[in-house]
Amino acid sequence: ILNVEQSPQSLHVQEGDSTNFTCSFPSSNFYALHWYRWETAKSPEALFVMTLNGDEKKKGRISATLNTKEGYSYLYIKGSQPEDSATYLCAHYGGATNKLIFGTGTLLAVQP
């Protein structure tokens, strides 16, 4: 069984705080790592797809890094806002399974 693990499970921060989450995945036979944001009652929305070791991607206040050799990715949110409140999912695509395997997500709540 190839697991994707995310930590923490949940996080409560104050508006303006910066925060980060971790996604761990099998390092062998790596193809791609996805990050999605899933707001309550909405559809999951893609944030980043990363394929190269050392990749760094940024969208506004959100950025992500990738280390395929050690099997982890970090998602950073700078200056959290209440509208950032959502579940953040990562998903790993590897040659061993040839399909996207999701983690259970990190639930972020930003208090105004």
Partner 1 sequence: ETGVTQTPRHLVMGMTNKKSLKCEQHLGHNAMYWYKQSAKKPLELMFVYNFKEQTENNSVPSRFSPECPNSSHLFLHLHTLQPEDSALYLCASSQTSGTGGWEQYFGPGTRLTVT
Q: Cα–Cα distance between 43 and 72 in angstroms, integer?
A: 25
SS3 content of the chain, % helix, strand, coil (to 5): 5, 55, 40
Q: List the structure tokens of 91.
A: 């998903």
- 45 binds partner 1, rule: CB under 8 A: yes
Stretch that binds partner 1, among 15-23, 44-52, 66-74, 77-85 (CB under 8 A): 44-52
- 91 binds partner 1, rule: CB under 8 A: yes
State the residues that interact with partner 1 by CB under 8 A.
4, 31-32, 34, 36, 41-46, 49, 51, 89, 91, 93, 98-105
